Amino acid sequence: MTTATVQRVRTGRITFFVALAVFAQESTWNLYESQVPPLLRQHLTSAALIGLLMGMDNLLGIFVQPWMGNRSDNTRTSWGRRMPYLVVGMPVAALLFLVIPHVAASLPLLVAVMFAYALIANSFKPIAEALLPDFIAPERRSRANAAVKIASSVTAIVAALISILLIDDHPGLSFAIPSILMVVSVLVLALKVRDSRSPAYQAALAEDREQHAESRVRVRVRDIVPDIIKDSDRSRLLLILSILFFGGAWAASRSLITPYGMEALGMSAGEAGGLTLPSGVAFIVAAYPVAMLAERFGRLRVMMIGMAAFAAAMVLGTVIRTPTGAMVALCLAAASASAFLVNAVVVLWNLAPSDRVVGTYTGLYTVGWASGGFLGPALVGAMVDVTGWPLMLLDVAIVALVAVLGVARVSALQRRSATGRAL
């Protein structure tokens, strides 16, 4: 085989393994989000309190993920820097997830297990995703990340099928299936992936040797964040802020669509809740093509076009204010948003000053995205209080356009710097 063919095989192989790990993780998360609230409702009548407990995992993720990503960046073992955490963390998370329905009769026990699961699962989430840039060259990361995003999206369908077919009669089995998937995936990873052989890990070892191993300086989160903020280039800071704003627009377009359908379109709760279902398929169909386009024409350019198209789709849904119009708009928006969701973290990886810190940067991406998911619906909700529900999609478009301006500025800065990075 030629060198290029060997490289494609290696890229496909590690992409499959990372996608498998993410698929297993997200299978538990999706079922957690859909089926833990009913367990809490057996004990609590306050929707606000249930929402607060369900948001605990996002709050933990904001603090835990960058720290754990950074900790793995600084780890050196014969097995590499990521795999030790995955081999320990994934089985523990699987066990905690398996226990959830069995402790549901006791609210204190249920909350304790929820907290433990959220803490452990958040700990290794960025570590699994960081395997991708460890093994794959910058110019091929978009298509690899697209495959991972597709695997993540499919888990929503898996969780829905488990809910429909099993949860009422076999709650224990429903939680056991994703747990088994996670254990199987970590066994495959442990047998097939040697993180110590990744190009990024070897580059990190080379940097360590240059600094003399006995006096190696650990790269800490509290050093990385000020460096991003103080950097005169501003590209990394602007990108993280754009991730926050677009994450907010995306979250608002999903979480507020049911009340929008009821208030603006006169739909029932069930009918309005189904508006987003076709858009999930649209995202899966679009993810890989936009990755290919990004690698050919530039990630920042494709991101800007996709984000602008997302905003335009929201405007279209505002103009054609019917259930069919809303469904079409959401499909167009999801397909367009894939350009951002597939490429944003890749651009952030490629802006990292060294392969030593890609785990930390993966965690920082999550901070931006999770913060947007937390703040976006609240911001758009406040705008709806002023403009009314019929203009909710337009409000989402406005928030998205702020993110477009941020990415446009990053693009301008990168054209000036001409660093040659795969952006």
pTM of the model: 0.79
Query: Is residue 423 in some structural domain?
Result: no
pLDDT band for position 216 (cuts 50, 70, 90): low
In the listed set 172, 200, 215, which residue is the last one of a domain according to the structure?
215
Burial level of 394, CB count in 10 A (0-12/13-18/19+)? middle
Domain containing residue 240? 221-417
Is 310 found in the same domain as 288?
yes
Q: Are residues 198 and 302 in the same domain?
A: no
Q: Do residues 201 and 247 both lie within one domain?
A: no
Q: What are the phi and psi torsion angles at 146 (to 5°)?
A: -60, -45
Residues 377 and 231 in one domain: yes
**264 assigned to some structural domain:** yes
Residues 276 and 409 in one domain: yes
Nearest-angstrom CA–CA distance, 175 and 187? 19
User: Higher model confidence: residue 4 or residue 217?
Assistant: 217
Fill in the DSSP letter of residue 352. S
158 is a domain residue: yes
User: Which has the closest alpha carbon to 366: 148, 145, 86, 61?
Assistant: 61
Residue by residue, what is the 3-state secondary structure of 326-337?
HHHHHHHHHHHH
Q: How confident is the model at residue 217 (pLDDT cuts 50, 70, 90)?
A: low
pLDDT digits (tens, 9 = 90+) for 158-189: 766 776 677 767 778 888 888 888 898 888 88
Burial class (CB in 10 A: 0-12, 13-18, 19+), 47: exposed
Q: What is the pLDDT of residues 260-269, one digit of tens each?
A: 888 888 887 6
User: Helix, strand, coil shares of the chain as percentages rounded to 5?
Assistant: 85, 0, 15
pLDDT range class, residue 98, cuts 50, 70, 90: very high
Question: How many structural domains are present in the chain?
Answer: 2
335: domain CATH number is: 1.20.1250.20
pLDDT confidence tier of residue 8, bands split at 50, 70 and 90: low
Single out the residue of 27, 383, 295, 49 nearest to residue 176, CA to CA: 27
Q: Which residues of 225-263 are buried (b: 16+ CB within 10 A; e: fewer)?
A: beebeeeeebbbbbbbbbbbbbbbbbbbbbebbbebbbb
